[in-house]
A and B are shown apart, each in its own frame.
Chain A
Amino acid sequence: MELFQLLLSGLASGCVYGLIALGFVLIYKATEAINFAQGDMMMFGAFITIWLTNSGYNNLPFLFSVPLMILIMGAFGFLIERIFLRQVIGQSQIAIAILTIALGFVLRFIAGAIWGHEPHFLESPMVGKNIYLNGAVLGLAEIFVIIVTVLLTVLLYFFFAKTKLGIAMVAASQNQLAAFYVGIPVKRVQSLTWVIAGILAGIAGMLFSAKGSVDPITGLLGIKAFAAAVIGGFGSLPGALIGGLIIGLIEPFSGRYLPSGFSHLVPYIVLVLVLILRPHGLFSQISHKKV
């Protein structure tokens, strides 16, 4: 039964990593830029959810504050692209990477200035509630995280596989030039990608705050999500989610069965192994252009 509990908590944190990794991959595919602020955007989403929901702040009902947070984070992603990223289009990848790293710092300090540096907890309806199943104690928050992630994944799958706009976004990420030629408004598609990445970060933050404490440096776990994206093969959406789950599962199990201190090391050992044995990641999509 202990195994089951470890599995559940691993899956739950894996879902959060996976959603952040999804944000990395989406933006990378659409704009060929890596948004190192994705983890900090997640932190920001968490704080906005807390700010809207908690009794000490706005005290809105949870079911109302979540859609509001999604709107805010969507607009937030849109504005970041418009104000900052669009200025550096055509610059080198390093310039864009440094810009997003700086954005991450700025977000961390803004969050610290507004909400302080002590840990915050989300007062969600799931807090402290458990389900008892054959002697196992399962946190309702963790089950909530997994269910929301599954629903979101299904939604995203349908969007990218079935809707015209979704296919156009995939198309533009595969061949930007050809997207121009068939009349897809590529710039608008890139804005939309940032909106979706903002929303994903917001939902990841909401889920993260539903099962643990949040402070301004929480966003640094974006590094683990980055590792997840690399393990999955940067550029593959299902790969990002599965990479996230792998990292999420490794942590509680290595924490339980390995000597103390090693649990934080193992995800990166896996990352290095994947990079050595399968440099393109587990689920890479490599296309060859025919001449």
Chain B
Amino acid sequence: MISKEVILRVENIESYYGPIMALKGVSLQVQKGSIVSVLGANGAGKTTLMKNISGVMDPEKGRIFLENESVEGTEADILVRKGVAHVPEGREVFPMLTVEQNLLMGAYTRSDKKEIRYDMELFCSYFPILKTRFEQMALTLSGGEQQMLAIARGLMSKPKILLLDEPSLGLSPKLVKEIFGILNRLNKDQGVTILLVEQNAKAALDIADFGYVMELGRIVLDGKSSELSEAKDIQEFYLGANQESQLGQKRWKNRKTWR
């Protein structure tokens, strides 16, 4: 399913919150039909990276290419039209609109009414719970259902690339498993290209084809996700491999090899 064609290429972007440099030259690329995940701890700059790609923030330096078209500094609503859908951290649904209206708003940039209905049915078949809640206001949904709604809403714009920011945030392990399973199916059946930002490294690496590890505004490691899940550092620091015995702590030389 993964083609050589690169959908998204980020080159050396730098971004600031006032005087604080949040991204210190980040580069990555996403191939069509793949799932790429960006891992990292709190404050590593993952969300900032996503905001820069979707146009909510503008990078100070560096370039972003969407299918070879340079898009850095483009307004967010134009980028949605160009095919970037961003599902933000913490759901951000429209609380007082119904599930149906929320999904319709996801298709705001489209005007093909029949296709929109068709897609709504299609994506609801991946998230059957949404169908049963169709007429309810989004605020009556549980956290997991809201996350599913946010993802389905993102898909409704028929994006070339779906940016997912921490879809596992605040969800039970069972729900995380369910949602990641659905993402995997969406990728395999519908060919949805996904850039996924996660703290839950195991869940992310399980479905991703390629992974990047971010720390303090930089990408410190990248590789196929199978290689990453095997890398000793990743196992220790993100997957919780048991090295935290007294002996392990003494072997300070064995700390992360990057940095």
Chain A interface residues (CB < 8 Å from chain B): 164, 167-168, 170-171, 174-175, 177-186, 285, 287-291
Contacts and interface: CB of A to CB of B under 8 A. Distances in A.
Given A167-B101, A183-B157, A290-B141, 5 more contacts: A167-B104, A181-B80, A183-B80, A287-B96, A289-B139
Interface string B38-65: 0000000000000000101000000000
A168 B102 CA distance: 10
27 contacts: A164-B104, A167-B97, A168-B108, A171-B97, A171-B101, A171-B105, A174-B95, A174-B96, A175-B92, A175-B93, A175-B94, A175-B95, A177-B92, A178-B88, A179-B94, A181-B86, A181-B88, A182-B80, A182-B154, A183-B76, A183-B77, A183-B80, A184-B77, A287-B95, A289-B90, A289-B95, A290-B141
A95 B153 CA distance: 36
Nearest to B107: A182
Interface in B56-88: 56, 75-77, 79-81, 85-88
A214 to B, nearest CB: 37
A291 B90 contact: yes
Contacts of A287: 95-96, 139
Given A167-B101, A290-B146, A181 B94 contact: no
Contacts, number: 86
Contacts of A186: 77
Contact of A182 (B75, B91, B96, B105): B105
Contacts of B153: 182
B108 A182 contact: yes
Given A164-B104, A167-B101, A290-B142, A178 B92 contact: yes
Contacts of B75: 185
A23 B80 CA distance: 31
Most buried by A among B86, B95, B141, B154: B95
A116 B259 CA distance: 75
B230 to A, nearest CB: 34
Contacts of A168: 105, 108
B140 to A, nearest CB: 10
Contact of B94 (A174, A183, A290): A174
Contacts of B154: 181-182
Which 6 A-B residue pairs are closest in the complex by CB-CB distance? A183-B80, A287-B95, A178-B92, A183-B109, A183-B77, A171-B94
Contacts of A183: 76-77, 79-81, 108-109, 157
Contact of A170 (B81, B97, B139): B97
A175 B101 CA distance: 14
A53 B108 CA distance: 41
B143 interface: yes
B97 A164 contact: no
Contacts of B109: 182-183
A291 B104 CA distance: 23
A233 to B, nearest CB: 13
Contact of A184 (B87, B90, B108, B139): B108
Contact of B105 (A177, A184, A288, A291): A184
B33 interface: no
B91 to A, nearest CB: 8
Nearest to A176: B92
A80 B247 CA distance: 70
Contacts of A170: 94, 96-97
Nearest to B80: A183
B143 A291 contact: yes
A182 B109 CA distance: 8
Contacts of B92: 175, 177-178, 181
A12 B101 CA distance: 35
A285 B105 contact: no
A186 B75 CA distance: 11
Nearest to B76: A180
Contacts of B94: 170-171, 174-175, 178-179
A282 B56 CA distance: 36
B106 interface: yes
Interface string B94-133: 1111000110111011000000000000000000000000
Most buried by A among B86, B88, B96, B101: B96
A178 B105 CA distance: 10
A259 B105 CA distance: 54
B170 interface: yes
Contacts of B101: 167, 171
A288 B91 CA distance: 13
Contacts of B96: 170, 174, 285, 287
Nearest to B169: A291
Nearest to A165: B108
Contact of A181 (B56, B95, B97, B141): B56
B194 to A, nearest CB: 16
A290 B91 CA distance: 9
B104 A180 contact: no
Contacts of A179: 94, 105
A178 B108 contact: no
